[in-house]
Every structure is written in structure tokens, then in C-alpha cells.
């Protein structure tokens, strides 16, 4: 922890913080001198004491695990007069600079219980705490960075004034996507599960099922057609019909051999969950390579799903916060087999809800969230459309199943000469 804190300090005053109040981000930064700037919005009309907690550790697994637990830990141990808001700190436009945490307003009588808890956290956990103090007149606020536990030798910087900051060009939640949410090589995803082996036994089981990188890259003779889309858009119906119509093999990602481990990874923080899905694609790629030497191959979900869901979860707020079209975030990994055609089924939300209801089966938590969270659904769809190399061809899935099949067969014949 101490090492990580020290590595942050040289850039400390270049950092910008964002606190989300009712879903809207408010930005502030710090500086050594006050030049008459107004008080940042999060500190205005504020009688309480304010603190920020940022999770930071060079151990990415520990950081992801601790962040996932932190909110519950705080809500359980803090007094009801404490209010938490999501917060982050970042170096504008600098990749991998995002630190996530919470902003805490405490309106209770005594500061002691909260400060005791925060002090304990700084000593035991990978967290960086700051307190904020209002000047005598109320016109200025200063930030005080707490030292971490027993590292007395560390040179702490002096207090800084907090001042309002501009919204950055790229939304902060986009800064850490690469290799935290979306993996662009076998090695990067592999390393995450390898580091989890001691704490998640299922991670070792997944590693044992993995192919070599060469196997995952083998290009088959027959065309490979991937069908993508949100849950209940008709992927299973269409992929089974395509298999029958084309005499094709039908595969899926994640592959069946990972089904017993999937629920465990769905409970893990994004870093670990997304590494699991990323590795699933390499297993499916080997199966595609084998089957594709004999017949055409239809694949139910592949890398588009892995990337689009991960990006949509990682990026908070509206669709415009997503990385712009053309961003490297949307680039197909060079070591994943490229399908001949990717079709993305779309459906208006009302019809999709009707199909989900009619099917009446259990849904993943994420799909339930999708149903309630229109924004998330829009972000997944937008991310699907922006992925390139191969891009996906969008097909309206609202007509009857046989018409959707005919339309996709036409696309396949045009593109794959079957």
C-alpha cells in the first residue's frame, strides 16, 4: 500500500476527482495556491465533514476484490448519518490512471467513530483516505491526504485547496477498460485467472481446460458465422435453424465445458469475471478450428458479447460516455480467430420484454438489470455496433422466426459463398 501511495504522490495535484451525486458527476481538482476559485459543488452548502476513500494497490486482484467489498463494509460500519457517493480520481486522458472509491459526508455529532474506521482501513486495506476541511470563512476547502498506517518515513505533501475542474474529454470510466474489463490477448486474461488460483479454486479448473495459443488461432476451411444480440433476441432459435439449414456445427461461447464454473465467476468483480469470459472464447476458437475443417460453423455469442457487455458495465452514465467510434477499445484481438460473418440481432425493448416473459425462465442478474436498465441495454447495443475487425451486421429480429432465418441465410450466401 505504501509503495502505491508514494507512486501516486508525484502526480497528486494533477489528479481530478469526480463525485457522482444522483448519477451526475461533479469534478474537482487540487492546487497549492488559492486564486479566488469558487468552492466545488460537492462541498457547497455542506455542514458535515467530508472524506474520500480511493482503492489503490499495485495488486490488481486485491484492488478489484477490495473495491467490490468496500461499499458493504462501509454501509455496515458507518453511522446512518454518513452518506456515500461513488467517486473516482484520475489523470485526465491518461490510460490506467483511474482509482475508484467513495466520497463520504458525515453529519453525525462526533467525528470519532468514522475516523476510527477510516484509520483502521488505511492500516489494513489498500485504500487511500483524504479528509476535507472548511476554512474559517467557508469560502475555501482544503484536502488533507492521510498517511498510511505505520509508514512514518513517507514524506506527505502539504494540504491542497480544492477547486472546481472541467469535465474531461474522455469519461474517466473509460480510462481503465483495457486489460481490466476487456482483454486483447490470451496472456492478459490468463494472468488474471492464474493470480486467482489460490482464492478461487474454479480458476484453476478453467486454466486446465485452456488450449495453447497456436490451437486457438487455427483458421478453418469452412465459413464461421457468429450470432450476437441481447438475451431473448432469438439467438438460440436462429442458430439452431441455421445449423439445420446449412448442415453446420453449432457452438457457443462460453463453451459447455465452462458451464459448471460460470455462476462462480458471475459473482466475481469485473476484472475476474471478464477474464473468465475472455478465456472461454479461446476454448470455443479451438472447437471452431476443429469443426470448421468438416462443416460450416454457427457460433452463439463470441468476442462481441465479451467486449460489449464489459464495456457497457465499465462505463457509467449515458451512452455518450462510451469511447468514441474508432477507439482501440473496440478492436478485435489479434489472437482470436476472426469469423467470416457476425450478425447482431436487434429487437425493440417492448418485444424483447414480451419474449423474455413468454420464455419465463431464470435470467442472469445482469439480464434482469438489463431489463430494468434501459441505459445499459443501449450501451451494450452501441458497443456491439462499434466493434470492428470484423464488424457486425445488424438484423431486425422482430419478424417471425422463419423470415429472420431467410434474411440471415441471404446474408450468409452473399458473404460466405455457401
Ligand X SMILES: Nc1ncnc2c1ncn2[C@@H]1O[C@H](COP(=O)(O)OP(=O)(O)O)[C@@H](O)[C@H]1O
Contacted by 306, from ligand X, ligand YYY, none: CB < 5 to 8 Å by type: ligand YYY
From the list 52, 173, 179, 253, which residue makes contact with ligand YYY (rule: CB under 6 A)?
A: 253
Contacted by 309, from ligand X, ligand YYY, none: CB < 5 to 8 Å by type: ligand YYY
Question: Residues touching ligand X: how many (CB under 6 A)?
Answer: 15
C-beta of residue 40 within 8 angstroms of C-beta of residue 163: yes
Nearer to ligand YYY, 100 or 252 (CB): 252
- Stretch near ligand X under the rule CB under 6 A, chosen from 49-57, 263-271, 304-312, 351-359: 351-359
Q: Does 306 bind ligand YYY (CB under 6 A)?
A: yes
Contacted by 366, from ligand YYY, ligand X, none: CB < 5 to 8 Å by type: ligand YYY
Q: Does 397 bind ligand X (CB under 6 A)?
A: yes
Q: Does 109 bind ligand X (CB under 6 A)?
A: no
Q: Is the dihedral of CA 47, 172, 88, 32 positive or negative?
A: negative
Rounded Cα distance between 16 and 43, Å, is 15
Nearer to ligand X, 171 or 352 (CB): 352
From the list 63, 100, 105, 235, which residue makes contact with ligand X (rule: CB under 6 A)?
A: 235
Phi, psi of 296 (to 5 degrees): -60, 155
Q: Does 122 bind ligand YYY (CB under 6 A)?
A: no
In the complex, the smallest distance separating the C-beta of residue 82 from ligand X, rounded to whole angstroms, is 42
Q: Does 240 bind ligand YYY (CB under 6 A)?
A: no
From the list 309, 332, 376, 384, which residue makes contact with ligand YYY (rule: CB under 6 A)?
A: 309
In the complex, the smallest distance separating the C-beta of residue 310 from ligand X, rounded to whole angstroms, is 19
Contacted by 276, from ligand X, ligand YYY, none: CB < 5 to 8 Å by type: none
Q: Does 233 bind ligand YYY (CB under 6 A)?
A: no
Rounded Cα distance between 147 and 139, Å, is 26
Q: Does 287 bind ligand YYY (CB under 6 A)?
A: no
Give me the residue whose beta carbon is nearest to ligand YYY.
Answer: 277
Q: Does 401 bind ligand X (CB under 6 A)?
A: yes
Residue 267 neighbours by CB distance under 10 Å: 11
Nearer to ligand YYY, 103 or 330 (CB): 330
Q: Does 364 bind ligand YYY (CB under 6 A)?
A: yes
Q: Does 259 bind ligand YYY (CB under 6 A)?
A: no
Q: Does 228 bind ligand X (CB under 6 A)?
A: no
- Stretch near ligand X under the rule CB under 6 A, chosen from 48-56, 172-180, 325-333, 353-361: 353-361
Q: Does 367 bind ligand YYY (CB under 6 A)?
A: yes
HEC secondary structure over the chain? CHHHHHHHHHHHHHCEEEEEECCEEEEEEEECCCCCCCCCHHHCCCCCEEEEEEECCCCHHHHHHHHHHHHHHHHHHCCCCEEEEEEEEECCCCCCCCEEEEEEEECCCCCHHHHHHHHHHHHHCCEEEEEEEECCCCCCEEEEECCCCCCCCCCCCCCEEEEECCCCCCCHHHCCCECCCECCCHHHHHHHHHHHCCCCHHHHHHHHHCCCHHHHHCCCCCCEEEEEECCCCCHHHHHHHHHHHHCCEEEECCCHHHHHHHHHHHCCCHHHHHHHHHHHHHHHHHHHHHHCCCCCEEEECCHHHHHHHHHHHHCCCCHHHCCCCCCHHHECCCCCCCCCEEEEEECCHHHHHHHHHHHCCCCCHHHHHHHHCHHHHHHHHHHHHHCECCCCEEEECCCCHHHHHHHHHHHHHHHHCC
Contacted by 171, from ligand X, ligand YYY, none: CB < 5 to 8 Å by type: none
Give me the residue whose beta carbon is nearest to ligand X.
Answer: 234
Binding site for ligand X (CB under 6 A): 229, 231-237, 355, 358-359, 397, 400-401, 404
Binding site for ligand YYY (CB under 6 A): 231, 253-254, 277, 280-281, 301-302, 305-306, 309, 364, 366-367
Amino acid at each position: 500500500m505504501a509503495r502505491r501511495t508514494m507512486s501516486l504522490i508525484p502526480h497528486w495535484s494533477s489528479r481530478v476527482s469526480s463525485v457522482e451525486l444522483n448519477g451526475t458527476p461533479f469534478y474537482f481538482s487540487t492546487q497549492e495556491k488559492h486564486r479566488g476559485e469558487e468552492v466545488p459543488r460537492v462541498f457547497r452548502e455542506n455542514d458535515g465533514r467530508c472524506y474520500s476513500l480511493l482503492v489503490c494497490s499495485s495488486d490488481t486482484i486485491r484492488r478489484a476484490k477490495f473495491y467490490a467489498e468496500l461499499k458493504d463494509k462501509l454501509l455496515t460500519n458507518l453511522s446512518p448519518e454518513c452518506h456515500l457517493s461513488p467517486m473516482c480520481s484520475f489523470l485526465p486522458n491518461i490510460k490506467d490512471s483511474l482509482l475508484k472509491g467513495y466520497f463520504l459526508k458525515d453529519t453525525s455529532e462526533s467525528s470519532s467513530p468514522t475516523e476510527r474506521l477510516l484509520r483502521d482501513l488505511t492500516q489494513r486495506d489498500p485504500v487511500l483516505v483524504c479528509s476535507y476541511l472548511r476554512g474559517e470563512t467557508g469560502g475555501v476547502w482544503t484536502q488533507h491526504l492521510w498517511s498510511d498506517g505505520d509508514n512514518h518515513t513517507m514524506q506527505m505533501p502539504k494540504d491542497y485547496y480544492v477547486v472546481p475542474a472541467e469535465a474531461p474529454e474522455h469519461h474517466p470510466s473509460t480510462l481503465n477498460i483495457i486489460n481490466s474489463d476487456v482483454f486483447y490477448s490470451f496472456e492478459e486474461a490468463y494472468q488474471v485467472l492464474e493470480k486467482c488460483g489460490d482464492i478461487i479454486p474454479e480458476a484453476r479448473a478453467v486454466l486446465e481446460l485452456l488450449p495453447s495459443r497456436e490451437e486457438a488461432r487455427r483458421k478453418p476451411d469452412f465459413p464461421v458465422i457468429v450470432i450476437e444480440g441481447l438475451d431473448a433476441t432469438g439467438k438460440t432459435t436462429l442458430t439452431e435453424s441455421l445449423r439445420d439449414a446449412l448442415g453446420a456445427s453449432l457452438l457457443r461461447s462460453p463453451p459447455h465445458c465452462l458451464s459448471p464454473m460460470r455462476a462462480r465467476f458471475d459473482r466475481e468483480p469485473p476484472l475476474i469475471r471478464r477474464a473468465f469470459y475472455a478465456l472461454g472464447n479461446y476454448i470455443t476458437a479451438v472447437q471452431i478450428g476443429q469443426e470448421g475443417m468438416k462443416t460450416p460453423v454457427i457460433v452463439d455469442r463470441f468476442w462481441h458479447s465479451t467486449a460489449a457487455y464489459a464495456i457497457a458495465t465499465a462505463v457509467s452514465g449515458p451512452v455518450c460516455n462510451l469511447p468514441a467510434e474508432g477507439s482501440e477499445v473496440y478492436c478485435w484481438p489479434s489472437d482470436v480467430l476472426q469469423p467470416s460473418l457476425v450478425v447482431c440481432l436487434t429487437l425493440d425493448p417492448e418485444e424483447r420484454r414480451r419474449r423474455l416473459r413468454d420464455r419465463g425462465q431464470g435470467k442472469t442478474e445482469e439480464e434482469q438489470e438489463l431489463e430494468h436498465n434501459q441505459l445499459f441495454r443501449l450501451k451494450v447495443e452501441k458497443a456491439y455496433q462499434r466493434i470492428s475487425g470484423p464488424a457486425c451486421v445488424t438484423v431486425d429480429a422482430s419478424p417471425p422466426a422463419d423470415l429472420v432465418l431467410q434474411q440471415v441465410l441471404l446474408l450468409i450466401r452473399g458473404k460466405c459463398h455457401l
